[in-house]
C-alpha cells in the first residue's frame, strides 16, 4: 500500500485501549505472555513467511519471549505464532495443526510438533508453552474461539 501505517495507532484502535510499545514489556510485571497469530506474525514480527527456518525474529519479540520463559511464566501462541516461539526457544512442544510444510519447519528449528484439530490445544508443561492452530486449519470463527478459550484457561492454570 502506498499509505503510511502505524502499528501502534492501529493496535490502539482495535484494542480500544491504552497500548504500549513492546519495548516497554517486562516479564516480571506480568503473569504470562500471549502471542496472537496471523500473517502479521509471519511477516512483521518475524520473517518466517519469507525465510522459513532461517527467519529473523523482531528483537523486541525475541526478548519478550526469552524473558518470559526465563522467569518460568507461561506463554500462549496461536495460529502461526508457535513457529516464532520455536525459532526463539527451539526445544519446545507446540502445534500448528496439520500442515506438513509448517510442521517440517518447526521440527527443523528444534521443536516437537503434535498434530491437532479444530479447537484443540497442546500444553508443553515443562516449558509452560500453550498453543492452538486457529487459522492454520480451515477453521470457522467458533472453532478458533474454542481453541483460544482453551489456550487461555490452560495458560491460567500454569500461572
Q: What is the pLDDT of residues 33-57, one digit of tens each?
A: 999 999 989 999 999 999 999 999 9
pTM, 2 dp: 0.92
Regarding beta strands 75-78 and 93-94, do their DSSP bridges make them parallel or antiparallel, or are they unpaired?
A: unpaired
- The domain limits of the chain are 28-158
* Concatenated DSSP letters of 7-60: HHHHHHHHHTS----GGG--GGGSS-EEE--SHHHHHTSBSHHHHGGG--B-HH
Identify the CA nearest to 87 among candidates 58, 121, 116, 122.
58
In contact, 131 and 85? CB cutoff 8 Å: yes
Residues 114-142, mean pLDDT to the nearest whole number: 97
> Is 55 an active-site residue?
no
Confidence band of 1 (pLDDT split at 50, 70, 90): low
In contact, 108 and 121? CB cutoff 8 Å: no
User: What pLDDT was estimated at residue 16?
Assistant: 84
Class of domain 28-158: alpha beta
Counting every residue written for the chain, the total comes to: 159
Q: What is the pLDDT of residues 19-36, one digit of tens each?
A: 888 999 999 999 999 999
* Cα 49 to Cα 126: distance, rounded to the nearest angstrom: 28
Q: Residue 112 pLDDT > 70, yes or no?
A: yes
Residues 91-110, mean pLDDT to the nearest whole number: 98
The x, y and z cell numbers of residue 139, run together, are 477453521
User: What pLDDT was estimated at residue 10?
Assistant: 81
Count H helices and E strands in the chain, helices first.
7, 6
Residue of 55, 57, 79, 139 marked catalytic:
79
Amino acid at each position: 500500500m502506498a499509505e503510511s501505517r502505524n502499528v501502534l495507532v492501529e493496535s490502539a484502535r482495535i484494542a480500544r485501549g491504552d497500548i504500549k510499545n513492546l519495548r516497554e514489556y517486562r516479564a516480571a510485571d506480568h503473569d504470562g505472555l500471549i502471542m496472537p497469530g496471523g500473517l502479521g506474525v509471519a511477516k512483521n514480527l518475524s520473517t518466517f513467511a519469507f525465510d522459513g527456518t532461517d527467519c529473523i525474529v523482531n528483537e523486541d519479540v525475541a526478548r519478550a519471549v526469552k524473558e518470559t520463559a526465563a522467569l518460568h511464566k507461561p506463554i500462549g501462541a496461536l495460529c502461526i505464532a508457535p513457529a516464532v516461539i520455536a525459532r526463539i526457544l527451539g526445544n519446545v512442544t507446540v502445534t500448528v495443526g496439520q500442515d506438513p510444510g509448517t510442521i517440517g519447519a518447526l521440527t527443523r528449528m528444534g521443536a516437537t510438533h503434535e498434530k491437532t484439530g479444530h479447537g484443540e490445544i497442546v500444553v508443553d508443561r515443562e516449558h509452560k508453552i500453550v498453543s492452538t492452530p486457529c487459522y492454520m486449519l480451515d477453521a470457522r470463527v467458533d472453532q478458533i474461539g474454542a481453541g483460544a478459550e482453551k489456550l487461555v484457561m490452560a495458560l491460567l492454570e500454569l500461572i
